[in-house]
Chains A and B, each alone.
Chain A
């Protein structure tokens, strides 16, 4: 039964010690109380005695070597003695409960009502700033009025007498008793929300959907997904198949991969594929895989995985968001049939893939028509009706379906039959 000898705790603030010299050699017998070694810390030099008996079988930290407190420095083996008590860390306490109060003795307000420096170079007192926001006032107008009066700052008195200016600006009514919890949007949501509203307002969206049979894709995917996971650390989902098919289809329908500036449709040279990534219900970001048409299925799967991972770990750079020409949004996780997505201007279309699941389908065979379960998913596309018309868009979807259902996916994954 071996006993480990550790670098002892030699002082309240000591964290390591240097062994100056061993008094025992490997193979020596050790009795309780024998001097083992001399250790030097930044405060003191001490001789350490043995608390167990046995034979010194191993010296791990030798003369002149420094080790941290608690590190094993030697082993004393054998002997019919109880083992030296194990060095046990203090057991972790039960899952810590919220101690908010102790460290929030003063309730710092959560809301920020704007900066101290306002328009016209005037400073605005905190109270005035709050009132401006709460009453939905126009700070520029207030600042102009104050400047005109020759004031150097804006106080509460300078804010009264102004009514709500813009009816489209939200008027914050005092909270009524009918209100429940107020959830303020985080910055990402706010910014995204503004953009979404703008896009919805300005682009004439038309939505078309097509059912796609994924049974063959799934067969190939099932054969390769574990190897893929092992080799790449990322999952092989339906998304890379859809994205690859989109890239091929877009090359046949270039108007769908274009920019609309109000007058002209500017076709893009590359397919810069944007993938909508949900940040744990905390907002949406759409990172881009540039020149996606150059990737094979496996390459595209890895590139998509990288962008999604970067999005989830908050490592995206501005370059990751720039230059998108077409977007895909995955909404299947909760089993929805289809989704009508909002286009990311200045793109002209966006594809949604929803739940892919077994549905009854009519299969035509030489023996006749049968109903069989097939893996079917609905792909839906919102497109900008100014950029092209419904027939073009529908033909694109038809091509997409065809690619997904009939392409030799096995070849893309290295099967050579």
Chain B
């Protein structure tokens, strides 16, 4: 049982903190398992991990309500888990099994769970930013109160769709939150080398009449507070926000990439600011007992192992799925 927060002015509260800790731990453990499964050739194709970037997905996951819509990139495992998708559905999709979220039809880069508000993970850079605008337009048009949150990387800020979407969202005052996870690197290139401004998202905000917001993406509390403000602004009709979260990825761009282009010592320096190290200390600072903190970690590992077993036992999807769901009626007939 947690003690009451040591600070009387804790705007976050015990429940949210437990959630923030749990989500980050589970994302970390699940992503590490995905790493191992890829090396064992049980996850095929490609896999883009969020190791080191857990705080952002977790914080927004706690801040968003049921019914809010999230749109993320092909580096979307964390965001999918953060919205409550069961681990076996996520890992199962990576392993391309029938138990997977889309029964193996989409794979790692396209994780989708409408039930949890995960409205797709998008592989073409920038494509989902206008799509998130469309979702927000729908909410505004129908008078629905959900908010669309759109996650993307630093490299996205240089593609055309980013700029079209920002302008679009502002002029129609859409209930959408744009979240840029600036992990400093595109694929193998330092984003700063190819961007005209220092803060790829933050320094573009003013071009669209938005406030420059650049925050520490590795501190879940910081992200959580920022998320709440932006989501509330959108929900109450205040229009879009653009938030740049500074973070770092521990692994390469994808599984094929050992990340050797990073300068000596950079990874180690960022690992000292590992979101989980920060948040474990934060939990202690706010009076949570070691036992409680560790219980969450133990439970997380148990869940990951259990999910792994379920996935390994799952068969591949039946081959009828090859031609299923090309069209809305479930079929694929292009001729009579």
State yes or no: do A and B touch (Cβ within 8 Å): yes
Interface residues of A (CB under 8 A from B): 6, 8-12, 14, 43-48, 51, 69-70, 85, 87-88, 90-94, 96-97, 99, 101-102, 105
Q: For the complex, is B319 an interface residue (Cβ under 8 Å from A)?
A: yes
Q: For the complex, is B322 an interface residue (Cβ under 8 Å from A)?
A: yes
Size of interface on B: residues with Cβ below 8 Å to A: 31
Q: Indicate if the CB atoms of B319 and A99 lie closer than 8 Å.
A: yes
Check A93/B318 contact, CB under 8 A, given A12-B45, A87-B41, A88-B312.
yes
For A93, list chain B residues within 8 Å (CB). 315-319
**12 A-B contacts (beta carbon < 8 Å):** A6-B40, A10-B39, A10-B255, A44-B258, A85-B308, A87-B42, A90-B316, A93-B315, A93-B319, A94-B315, A96-B319, A97-B319
Check A101/B323 contact, CB under 8 A, given A44-B258, A90-B96, A93-B318.
yes
Q: For the complex, is B335 an interface residue (Cβ under 8 Å from A)?
A: yes
> A97 vs B323: C-alpha distance in the bound complex, in angstroms?
13
For B44, list chain A residues within 8 Å (CB). 9
For A6, list chain B residues within 8 Å (CB). 40-41
Proximity bits, B30-64, A CB within 8 Å = 1, else 0: 00000011111111111000000000000000000
Interface residues of B (CB under 8 A from A): 36-46, 96-97, 254-258, 260, 308, 312, 315-320, 322-323, 334-335
What is the distance, in angstroms, from B277's C-beta to the closest C-beta of chain A? 16
SS class of chain A's interface: helix, strand, loop or mixed?
Answer: loop
Q: Indicate if the CB atoms of A102 and B322 lie closer than 8 Å.
A: yes
> A407 vs B42: C-alpha distance in the bound complex, in angstroms?
67
Q: Indicate if the CB atoms of B322 and A99 lie closer than 8 Å.
A: yes
Check A87/B40 contact, CB under 8 A, given A94-B315, A94-B318, A97-B320.
yes
SS class of chain B's interface: helix, strand, loop or mixed?
Answer: loop
> A70 vs B42: C-alpha distance in the bound complex, in angstroms?
10
Give A82's nearest chain B residue, CB to CB. B305
Ranked nearest first, the 9 interchain pairs of A and B with the lowest CB-CB distance are A11-B256, A8-B39, A9-B41, A46-B258, A93-B316, A91-B315, A102-B323, A12-B46, A90-B316
What is the distance, in angstroms, from B252's C-beta to the closest C-beta of chain A? 9
What is the distance, in angstroms, from B232's C-beta to the closest C-beta of chain A? 41
Give B46's nearest chain A residue, CB to CB. A12
For A69, list chain B residues within 8 Å (CB). 41
What is the distance, in angstroms, from B15's C-beta to the closest C-beta of chain A? 33
Q: Indicate if the CB atoms of B256 and A44 lie closer than 8 Å.
A: yes
For A101, list chain B residues within 8 Å (CB). 323
For B255, list chain A residues within 8 Å (CB). 9-12
> A90 vs B104: C-alpha distance in the bound complex, in angstroms?
12
What is the distance, in angstroms, from A195's C-beta to the closest C-beta of chain B? 44
> A276 vs B71: C-alpha distance in the bound complex, in angstroms?
70
What is the distance, in angstroms, from A82's C-beta to the closest C-beta of chain B? 9
Give A91's nearest chain B residue, CB to CB. B315
For A91, list chain B residues within 8 Å (CB). 315-316
